[in-house]
């Protein structure tokens, strides 16, 4: 039996991963898989009731604030855990400051000190202990060890500083996750809510899309989504396919043509014969891709997590070794204990525990100032290693809005302005995107016409000054589908060419990506000519056209088979969501991007500027460089003093100065990530 349950109260991807590892060790759980983005746990078990009991118990033990929701339970949260954490942190900091500045009896001092430390870091200590019982050490244990070490040598305020900064970082992380994480179920905007089926007597019956059988006749009206894949048996119209293929222009369809579920009918009424069941339809396949993409995405670890995995254990083993060797050589237990304590103090991981997360926070803060929202330090880490960036076209490289490129006039008595004015007289009543663009290009006031008739998928017939005009396309002569004709009394008098405007920063974005040795690939659902023209104009390395969402997904999946490649994907539509989730780093547009693409992505560009992609990579590279600087510098100094302390050359005071000094210098170095300004 396989079931999904929801969870809440876990705002750390690394914590979720640790929990997943332990869940898979439970007796009645054959397999447990946590999807952090969708806040779900996939549980496979032969006895689900017992399995869920074990899952709930273990989750509560490892994550006190977490809650497992199953069997349609309702969330009756009476308070915000993040608000509670902030309040406890604030009270703890106030008590810590009181112990620092207010004279008091020693007993009261220690009571306030302990209470202050517990209020600020009770979760950290608890998780450290629980994970230690599971034979796992991580940053929680590092921070706990830092506080114990600092307190042992009398640096009480240093200990409180460590837990205060760490707790502030965790609260900020929780806030970011709670704001950015919404259910991926928002993709139901793509999923049709209902279908209108025609019975034998042509009566309209509203049913669920899942109830449509093969061969059923469906009626779809303007503004409605096509519920299942099928064949048009009556009617013609223009379709909006942006959500499915990224096709920037509406596509005209008629009798005998295949139509995809999720398409939006802009005009006309269609009768469609269902050729697939809903579960096999295009929209259903996209949903499944999104559900499965996060399972295939590499779970990147931050540098500190990798270092922390072995650092603490190595320190403890070495400290014990120092005690043993000194005792064996000198035969003095007190000296051995003292030098072992020096070893622990010098190796106290304050510099790591504070500076590395602070560097990531500074890098993410710097990115935010540049209009780049990075959802976690692990994504910043992977972003620094990107060497291939795949980009959607419409809404990403181009604006998604059409402009008049040129007007070709065949009759000398008409100017370009006259053609745009006459065309706008008819188009002013149309909802077609090209019609709106033509009207926007016209600079003259428009008169209201009485005789206007719009033919779905063709154009508009209208009468002006007793002449019969037509604006649209009578024949499919232009492969790009961006040329409309203006006829007067059945004689063509002009052609109006339109194009999807390229964003002003797109060329610069591609150039800047190439300058940092990142390969660029354009993946689009548009036709070959449009994609080729855009690709050549902006200068991408490769391009692919006429792609459905699953084609983009497959392309990225094939790229990921090369372990040397780190792939980014940039998109803005619902159709981009599977690729955004599958790529190592998904980057979405923040203004015109769909809510689904924003939720599925790891990085959001607030102002839709594609040139922010190379900026994000540069900030990530710089931040990661500082992280390694802090690790190498801190480790180097500590190793030196570890040797000196073990040999008795330095004492406890030197150990404290070395530890605190390295920590301060590492913190100051971390703040450089906040001030970094990428060169454009």
Catalytic positions, written as ranges: 392
Q: Exposed, middle or buried by CB within 10 Å (0-12, 13-18, 19+), for 245?
A: buried
Q: Determine the Cα–Cα distance for residues 599 and 340; give it in Å rounded to an integer.
A: 50
Residue matched to tokens 């295949």: 258
**Closest among 605, 600, 548 to 578, alpha carbons compared:** 600
- N-term to C-term CA, the chain: 54
How many CB atoms sit inside 10 A of residue 353's CB? 26
The two structure tokens encoding residue 34: 């946590």
The two structure tokens encoding residue 289: 């891709």
Q: Determine the Cα–Cα distance for residues 415 and 95; give it in Å rounded to an integer.
A: 80
Q: Determine the Cα–Cα distance for residues 289 and 553; give it in Å rounded to an integer.
A: 8
* Greatest Cα pair distance in the chain: 116
Phi, psi of 644 (to 5 degrees): -65, -40
The DSSP element (H or E) to which 201 belongs, if any, is none
Q: Determine the Cα–Cα distance for residues 613 and 518; give it in Å rounded to an integer.
A: 11
Q: Determine the Cα–Cα distance for residues 530 and 481; give it in Å rounded to an integer.
A: 9
Q: How far is CA 675 from the centre of its chain?
A: 24
Q: Where are the beta strands (DSSP E) in 36-129?
A: 40-44, 67-69
All residues at 6 or more sequence positions from 174 whose CB lies less than 8 Å from its CB, including other chains: 11, 12, 81, 82, 85
How many CB atoms sit inside 10 A of residue 480's CB? 15
Cα Rg, the chain, nearest whole Å? 32
């Amino acid at each position: 039996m396989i079931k999904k349950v929801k969870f809440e109260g876990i705002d750390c991807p690394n914590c979720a991963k640790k929990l997943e590892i332990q869940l898979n060790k439970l007796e009645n759980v054959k397999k447990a898989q946590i999807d952090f983005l969708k806040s779900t746990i996939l549980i496979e078990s032969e006895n689900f009731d017992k399995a869920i009991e074990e899952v709930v118990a273990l989750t509560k033990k490892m994550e006190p604030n977490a809650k497992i929701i199953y069997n349609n339970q309702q969330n009756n949260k009476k308070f915000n855990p993040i608000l509670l954490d902030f309040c406890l942190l604030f009270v703890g900091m106030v008590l810590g400051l009181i112990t620092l500045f207010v004279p008091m009896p020693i007993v009261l001092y220690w009571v306030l000190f302990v209470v202050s430390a517990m209020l600020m870091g009770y979760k950290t200590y608890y998780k450290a202990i629980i994970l230690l019982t599971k034979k796992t050490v991580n940053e929680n244990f590092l921070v706990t060890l830092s506080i114990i070490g600092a307190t042992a040598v009398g640096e009480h305020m240093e200990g409180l500083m460590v837990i205060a900064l760490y707790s502030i970082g965790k609260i900020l992380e929780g806030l970011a996750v709670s704001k950015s994480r919404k259910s991926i179920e928002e993709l139901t905007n793509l999923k049709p809510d209902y279908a209108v089926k025609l019975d034998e007597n042509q009566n309209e019956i509203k049913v669920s899309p899942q109830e449509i059988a093969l061969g059923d006749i469906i009626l779809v009206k303007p503004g409605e989504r096509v519920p299942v894949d099928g064949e048009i048996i009556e009617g013609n119209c223009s379709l909006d396919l942006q959500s499915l293929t990224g096709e920037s222009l509406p596509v005209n369809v008629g009798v005998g043509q295949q139509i995809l579920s999720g398409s939006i009918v802009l005009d006309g009424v269609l009768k469609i014969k269902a050729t697939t069941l809903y579960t096999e339809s295009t929209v259903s396949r996209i949903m499944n891709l999104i559900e499965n993409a996060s399972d295939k995405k590499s779970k990147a670890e931050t540098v500190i997590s990798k270092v922390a995995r072995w650092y603490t254990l190595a320190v403890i083993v070495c400290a014990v070794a120092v005690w043993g060797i000194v005792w064996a050589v000198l035969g003095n237990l007190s000296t051995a204990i003292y030098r072992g304590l020096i070893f622990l103090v010098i190796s106290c991981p304050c510099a790591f525990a504070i500076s590395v997360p602070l560097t990531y926070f500074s890098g993410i803060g710097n990115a935010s100032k540049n209009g780049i929202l990075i959802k976690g330090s692990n994504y910043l880490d992977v972003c620094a290693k990107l060497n291939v960036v795949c980009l959607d076209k419409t809404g990403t490289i181009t604006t998604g809005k059409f402009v008049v490129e040129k007007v070709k006039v065949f009759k000398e008595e008409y100017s370009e302005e006259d053609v745009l004015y006459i065309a706008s007289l008819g188009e002013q009543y149309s909802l077609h995107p090209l019609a709106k663009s033509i009207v926007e290009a016209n600079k003259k006031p428009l008169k209201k016409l009485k005789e206007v008739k719009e033919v779905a998928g063709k154009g508009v017939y209208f009468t002006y000054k007793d002449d019969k005009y037509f604006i649209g396309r009578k024949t499919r002569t232009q492969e790009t589908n961006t040329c409309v004709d203006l006829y007067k009394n059945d004689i063509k008098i002009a052609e109006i060419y339109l194009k999807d405007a390229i964003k002003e920063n797109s060329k610069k974005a591609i150039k800047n990506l190439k300058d940092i040795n990142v390969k660029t690939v354009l993946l689009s659902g548009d036709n070959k000519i449009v994609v080729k023209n855009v690709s050549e104009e902006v200068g991408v390395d490769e391009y692919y056209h006429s792609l459905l969402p699953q084609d983009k997904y497959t392309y990225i999946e094939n790229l990921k088979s090369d372990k040397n490649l780190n792939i980014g994907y940039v998109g803005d539509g619902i159709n981009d969501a599977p690729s955004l989730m599958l790529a190592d780093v998904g980057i979405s547009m923040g203004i015109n991007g769909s809510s689904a693409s924003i939720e599925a992505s790891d990085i959001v560009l607030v102002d839709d500027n594609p040139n922010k992609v190379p900026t994000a990579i540069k900030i990530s590279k710089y931040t990661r460089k500082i992280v390694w600087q802090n690790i190498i510098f801190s480790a180097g100094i500590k190793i030196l003093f570890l040797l000196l302390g073990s040999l008795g050359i330095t004492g406890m005071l030197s150990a404290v100065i070395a530890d605190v000094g390295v920590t301060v210098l590492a913190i100051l170095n971390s703040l450089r990530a906040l001030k970094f300004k990428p060169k454009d």
